[in-house]
């Protein structure tokens, strides 16, 4: 087991956003975290990356507890945020170097992985550029390269497709497949449900801070009693039912 969340209650103030949620992400699988705006997806991710402390519950990664051993826990994580966050005063080359130092990677091996990723995302000739020279999509590609060059046990990608061109989306999905085959657990939050349906192994559907449903597409179809419908149709049906309750 890679990531395990048990009975997590949490949020940003005294009123919890997440209400006793539990789910797992196993090594070598891609789990899609699905939900409407305000369902709790970003709050869940912020707890998993230790930006928020839970009110109660437990988060572990390969047996390492996030609160008892946060340093060893975070060493296992790579994260691609929804909004790119780069240092204005550092070049692309210096962002790569910073990632290598932060994760204590072997320098030459890390640069080999970085060069491969930079070439895939057509950034290999921009190593001396500063973030001010990059478009939003290019900044997102920098974040992706920095995350994927790490040999992480858990890769978290939060709405990764915004700002990316179709070729970059295809390349990212292929790289995630490679990571899965290498045994990486992947948690992906996305609103692009047709893509999630094609690539995710399982889904966690959040609504109003609770896990509304979880499982494979077939299991969700059985739960919703909609044997032939798409993930998009199933989720919209569940979301409408929640709003009407």
Instruction: Grade residue 127 by pLDDT with cuts at 50, 70 and 90.
Output: very high
Residue in 85, 63, 66, 82 with CA at minimum distance from that of residue 74: 66
CATH architecture for segment(s) 3-244: 3-Layer(aba) Sandwich (3.40)
Residue in 156, 181, 175, 157 with CA at minimum distance from that of residue 28: 181
Q: Are 29 and 185 in contact (CB under 8 A)?
A: yes
Pairing of strands 77-80, 154-158: parallel
Per-residue pLDDT of 50-72, as tens digits, reads 999 999 999 999 999 999 999 99
Joined tokens for residue 232: 């998009």
Residues 110-137, mean pLDDT to the nearest whole number: 97
Q: Is the pTM of this model over 0.85?
A: yes
Residues 146-162, mean pLDDT to the nearest whole number: 94
Q: Which residues pair with 180 in a beta bridge?
A: none
What pLDDT sits at residue 176? 96
Residues 233-237, mean pLDDT to the nearest whole number: 83
Rounded Cα distance, 245 and 147, in Å: 40
What pLDDT sits at residue 14? 82
Per-residue pLDDT of 174-211, as tens digits, reads 999 999 999 999 999 988 888 899 999 999 999 889 99
What pLDDT sits at residue 242? 63
* Tokens 């305000």 -> residue: 38
Where do the structural domains in the chain lie, given as residue ranges?
3-244
Rounded Cα distance, 207 and 214, in Å: 12
Rounded Cα distance, 199 and 66, in Å: 28
């Amino acid at each position: 087991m890679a990531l395990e969340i048990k009975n997590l209650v949490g949020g940003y103030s005294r009123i919890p956003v997440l209400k006793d949620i539990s789910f797992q992400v196993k090594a070598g699988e891609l789990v899609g975290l699905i939900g409407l705006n305000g369902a709790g997806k970003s709050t869940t991710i912020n707890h998993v990356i230790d930006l928020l402390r839970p009110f109660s519950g437990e988060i572990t990664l390969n047996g390492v507890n996030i609160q008892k051993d946060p340093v060893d826990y975070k060493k296992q994580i790579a994260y691609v945020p929804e909004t790119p966050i780069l240092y204005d005063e550092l070049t692309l080359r210096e962002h790569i170097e910073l990632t290598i130092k932060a994760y204590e990677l072997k320098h030459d091996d890390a640069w080999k992985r970085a060069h491969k990723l930079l070439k895939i995302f057509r950034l290999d000739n921009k190593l001396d550029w500063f973030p001010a020279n990059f478009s939003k999509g290019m900044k997102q590609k920098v974040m992706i390269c920095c995350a994927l060059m790490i040999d992480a046990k858990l890769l978290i990608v939060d709405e990764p497709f915004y700002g990316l061109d179709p070729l970059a989306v295809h390349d990212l999905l292929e790289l995630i497949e490679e990571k899965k085959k290498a045994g990486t657990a992947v948690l992906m939050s996305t609103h692009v449900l047709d893509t999630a349906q094609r690539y995710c192994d399982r889904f966690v559907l959040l609504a109003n801070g609770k896990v509304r449903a979880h499982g494979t597409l077939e299991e969700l179809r059985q739960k919703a009693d909609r044997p032939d419908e798409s993930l998009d149709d199933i989720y919209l049906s569940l979301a409408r039912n929640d709003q009407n309750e």
